[in-house]
Amino acid sequence: MAARSNIKRPLAKFPGPLVLLGAGKMGQAMLEGWLARGLSPKKIIVLEPQPGKAIRTLTRRGLKINPKTPTQASAIVIAVKPQSAPEALPAVRAHVGRTTLALSIMAGRTLRFLQEALPSGTAIVRAMPNTPAAIGRGITVAMPNTYVSARQRRQASDLLAAIGNVEWVRDESLMDAVTAVSGSGPAYVFLLVEAMTRAGIAAGLPAELAARLARETVGGSGELLHRSAHDAATLRQNVTSPGGTTAAALEILMGPGGFDEILKEAVAAATRRSRELAG
């Protein structure tokens, strides 16, 4: 029984204090996930100039906001915008001790940048989540620096698991392509809904019906893929009978200038931009 409740509350024994720097969209999604997974608000310190009502309410359960005296944290999660980092990071230095793990989810801010901003020798994980994190269905890619211990890596995985699945890489240069595929990827999927809507209207459907069909089709197919044991290609083949309507469409989409080529170009452009932004 005890083992079962631990599975439901995997963060119940997480050592505090946990400092969250920046409680915007991502920071709040993570915070909600941590609480749902059993982390006590008493272990959480939020550093945020304008904390929302939900966070202010949590002070009744022991969460601290912008305390005057810094405490050595077991982990610090950095969730401010990348452009706020130079101004925001000095405030967390005082919370960093010898065994503190710093976990950054800032897009484009490299391990090198973080190492320069934090005390030397700090264990740092650079992570790249994506927006489905807001509903606990994100995918995050994480990269440790050389000071991260096996225990700290497990801690980072536990904290990130609150917003979805986690993959680890050992080569930081992959983070640009990761950003281009999963970081920016939700926008490509939303664009697909928009494009299917426009195509439906062009094929004669009323606008509202076209929008509903496109939205539900993409949402439902995503859910089917998520729940199915089959890969995407098999699911695609399952709805494609030879000589049928789907096959007629796929001939265009999979032909010259189709999905593959366009997406390869788009992902390459996003990868290049990510490299430029990281400097």
Which residues of this chain interact with ligand NAP, rule CB under 6 A?
Answer: 21-27, 47-50, 79-82, 84, 87-88, 105-107, 128-131, 183
Judged by phi (left if over 0) then psi (alpha if -120 to 50, else beta), residue 133 lies in alpha
Which of 209, 208, 184 is closest to 269 using CA atoms?
A: 184
Q: Which is nearer to ligand NAP, 6 or 83 (CB)?
A: 83
Separation CA 127–CA 124 (nearest Å): 10
The least distance separating ligand NAP from the CB of residue 185, rounded to whole angstroms, comes to: 10
For ligand NAP, the closer CB: 10 or 82: 82
Closest to ligand NAP by CB, 13 vs 81, is: 81
27/144 with CB nearer ligand NAP:
27
Q: How far is the CB of 88 from ligand NAP (least distance, A)?
A: 3
- In angstroms, give the least distance from the CB of 115 to ligand NAP: 17
Shortest spacing between CB 67 and ligand NAP, in angstroms: 13
Tokens of 11: 């963060």
Rounded distance between C-alpha atoms, residue 166 and residue 275, angstroms: 22
Alpha helices in the chain (DSSP H): 2-8, 25-36, 53-58, 85-93, 111-117, 150-161, 175-178, 185-202, 207-227, 232-238, 245-253, 259-278
- The nearer residue to ligand NAP, 103 or 128, going by C-beta atoms, is 128
Return phi, psi of residue 235, to 5°: -60, -40
Is residue 176 within 8 A of residue 278, CB to CB? The reply is: yes
Name the residue number minimizing CB distance to ligand NAP.
Answer: 24
CB of residue 248 to ligand NAP, shortest distance in Å = 36
Which of residues 187 and 195 has its CB atom nearest to ligand NAP in the complex? 187
Block residue for tokens 């539900």:
216
Q: How far apart are CA 179 and CA 266, in angstroms?
A: 12
Residue whose C-alpha is closest to residue 21's, from 97, 116, 92: 92
In terms of CB distance, is 25 or 272 closer to ligand NAP? Answer: 25
